[in-house]
Amino acid sequence: MSTSIVFGVLNEEFDGEEYSMTNKFEVYRVMSTIVKIVQRYIQLHPHINCYEFTGEPTEKEIDKEGRVRLMLYNRYLPNIFGEDWIIKHEHSKSVVPKNSTNT
């Protein structure tokens, strides 16, 4: 079983645009929260053996195909997943399957 993980900003300040940049210099706090959320999700869903992270581009990043956002997620993936997972970076996404030799 696999799942995709997508985070965005949804509130009145950004008119429902879920990929808006908040630009409030809270990236470390936000990423720390994402790490905790995904770790908790992994605990609650032990049968999922693959996760996929994509970097949805903002309008300014359209030509970069979301790589800027994905690069940020990639820096935190080792904090989320331990040795039981393999982190694979592909063109516009990162795929994290469970290491079948450790299960």
Amino acid at 102: N
Give the separation between CA 9 and CA 11, rounded to whole angstroms: 6
pTM for this prediction: 0.70
Strand order in the sheet with 2-5: 2-5, 50-54, 93-97, 88-89
* Domain encompassing residue 28: 2-102
pLDDT in tens, the chain (103 residues): 888 876 655 555 555 555 455 556 677 888 898 899 999 999 999 999 999 987 665 566 555 545 666 788 889 999 999 889 999 988 778 899 998 875 5
Q: With contact defined as beta carbons under 8 Å apart, do 73 and 55 qualify? A: yes
Task: Decide the pairing of beta strands 93-97 and 88-89.
Answer: antiparallel
**Overall domain count for the chain:** 1
